[in-house]
Chain A
């Protein structure tokens, strides 16, 4: 009876896992098929050819190289800046008796819970007004501004639970506020920072809505909108589109594999606190 149950469990879960991984494997396989193969046998058939030329086409002709550079130029500074700024805010709000600190924290979190749709038009107009429109700076600024609330909230929860004695000891040793922040609290907050870093990297890297709101020129587009444009450019070249899709997924998959533990705990961080 027990063996039967274990067997049923594994059979069911293997089928389910296939349902989840199958589409991904299919796209990877399709990216290595030749155009003629797909034209002759359809996208639903098994591969009968092998080529990597699709990747070259997506990479250079499809402009994915340019798009990946743009994505990196946006994502890295956005992650560093937003985590840096929210760590500062969380530090001050959690370790010192700032008047109205709870209201400030909740207000910042509420800002992050707003549906972005209400911000799109004003943000687009504001970036035009300041001359940032259609530059990567605009996207960085938006990503930092929009992420701050949540990161501050999570880091605050984490810093709040650090023992007060460490800070007292540092104060007695003559450390100033800045030193306590950089030498004592930040190092202790590293697990949370790693988790949020991995998470925000994928969020910002995967974003579509903000990119197409504050950017216009194709040359400025990060990977996600560029991938959509690739579809228009290679209308029925499903193998090239598949290759472009694989390329666009690689950076976030790499970050995920490298920071898997942090990534998963990051998803749960805001939830369990």
Chain B
């Protein structure tokens, strides 16, 4: 993703550009958007860190309590549960959407009859909001809904349960629709990446007698390194951000069994009105996102060196 910025420039151009650079209009072009983002993103982010060190109910001014919120988090069973669920979410939702999306991209990369339709079918849910997705799947999970009807049809009645209301199944019943929607999205990213690979590389490998598995392992996957970094960042951030689908289906329940850090943070902030404590959870989410992405980038750089 490192980009060399300078366009092809001969000396006269450069001189002209340099003389233009101080024009107040250009400064405004950069400063106005930057100021807007600062007001709604950078400044709030800094405040978020500060709030995490306070006790605050939203009415009286925040009171500085140091690391108290973080100490309390360490002993909070609901938080630990949400953390574990978030990791499960990251692994299952993230892992399976990458595998599924990559697999579908491989299967559907070649232009042939019907491929356009199949791609469109897998892609359709990406257009829906997660709330719409949740409602679609709610029909599936209803008592006497589609899932139960299907199970009964194949004689597996004993498996029937209140999918979203059973603490054993709630989290997984929420992951499924999330996956249903994400796989098509990841597939599009990988399709774009696969299209960018020079076909000559595959041709050369085939000449050298590489079978399709070897070509996948030694040509396709290494060539996708750039896209992998993007997909990984998207998946990590999406997993940690995941909120809509859980909120619409279970609100983190029953008994916090499908609670993610993001839903716990939201309900702590806006329902329990413990804004300082909720900010500490938000900081944890931030640190997790940063750690995974940085961890990956460091590894990627080391491999390149």
> Which A residues lie at the B interface, using CB under 8 A?
9-10, 13, 16-17, 20-21, 23-24, 26-27, 30, 42-45, 85-86, 88-89, 91-99, 101-102, 104, 107-108, 111-126, 141-142, 144-146, 148-149, 152, 157, 160, 164, 168, 171, 176-178, 181, 202, 205-209, 212-213, 223-225, 227-228, 231, 238, 241-242, 245, 248-249, 252-253, 256, 263-264, 267-268, 270-273
In Å, the complex CA distance between A271 and B7 comes to 21
Which of B5, B13, B129, B137 is in CB contact (< 8 Å) with A101?
A: B5
**Does the CB pair A119–B130 fall under 8 Å?**
no
- 5 nearest A-B pairs in the assembled complex, by CB-CB distance: A145-B40, A206-B129, A44-B149, A268-B192, A122-B44
Give B124-163 interface residues, CB cut-off 8 Å to A: 124-132, 135-137, 139-140, 142, 144-150
Give B221-237 interface residues, CB cut-off 8 Å to A: 226-227, 230-231, 233, 237
Q: Which residues of B contact A120 (CB under 8 A)?
A: 265-266, 269, 282
**Does the CB pair A157–B192 fall under 8 Å?**
no
Q: With both chains docked as a complex, state the minimum distance between the C-beta of A173 and any C-beta of chain B, in angstroms.
A: 13
> Which B residues lie at the A interface, using CB under 8 A?
1, 3, 5, 7-9, 13-14, 16-18, 20-21, 23, 25-26, 29-30, 32-34, 36-37, 39-45, 47-49, 51, 58, 107-108, 114, 117-118, 121-132, 135-137, 139-140, 142, 144-150, 180, 184-185, 188-189, 191-193, 196, 226-227, 230-231, 233, 237, 240-241, 243-244, 247-248, 261-262, 265-266, 269-270, 275, 278-279, 281-283, 285-286, 289, 293
Q: With both chains docked as a complex, state the minimum distance between the C-beta of A233 and any C-beta of chain B, in angstroms.
A: 13
Which of A44, A108, A227 is in CB contact (< 8 Å) with B132?
A: A227
Which residue on A lies nearest to B56, using beta carbons? A121
Q: Which residues of B contact A89 (CB under 8 A)?
A: 29-30, 32-34
**Does the CB pair B129–A115 fall under 8 Å?**
no
**Does the CB pair B139–A148 fall under 8 Å?**
no
Interchain Cβ contacts within 8 Å, total number:
283
Which of A42, A99, A117, A263 is in CB contact (< 8 Å) with B241?
A: A117
In Å, the complex CA distance between A248 and B118 comes to 24
**Does the CB pair B180–A145 fall under 8 Å?**
no
**Does the CB pair A97–B21 fall under 8 Å?**
yes
Which residue on B lies nearest to A246, using beta carbons? B132
Q: Which residues of B contact A30 (CB under 8 A)?
A: 139
**Does the CB pair B17–A97 fall under 8 Å?**
yes
**Does the CB pair B145–A231 fall under 8 Å?**
no
In Å, the complex CA distance between A20 and B20 comes to 54
**Does the CB pair B26–A24 fall under 8 Å?**
no
In Å, the complex CA distance between A117 and B266 comes to 8
Which of B18, B51, B243 is in CB contact (< 8 Å) with A121?
A: B51
In Å, the complex CA distance between A88 and B20 comes to 15
**Does the CB pair B231–A271 fall under 8 Å?**
yes
In Å, the complex CA distance between A164 and B289 comes to 38
Q: Which residues of A contact B241 (CB under 8 A)?
A: 115-117
Q: Which residues of B contact A17 (CB under 8 A)?
A: 117-118, 121-122
Q: A242-B139, A267-B185 are in contact. Are A111 and B132 (CB under 8 A)?
A: no
In Å, the complex CA distance between A264 and B244 comes to 23
**Does the CB pair B3–A157 fall under 8 Å?**
yes
Q: A141-B40, A168-B16 are in contact. Are A96 and B136 (CB under 8 A)?
A: no
Q: Which residues of B contact A245 (CB under 8 A)?
A: 132, 135-136
In Å, the complex CA distance between A125 and B226 comes to 39
**Does the CB pair B121–A21 fall under 8 Å?**
yes
**Does the CB pair B139–A117 fall under 8 Å?**
no
Which of B3, B33, B125, B244 has the largest count of A CB atoms less than 10 A from its CB?
B33
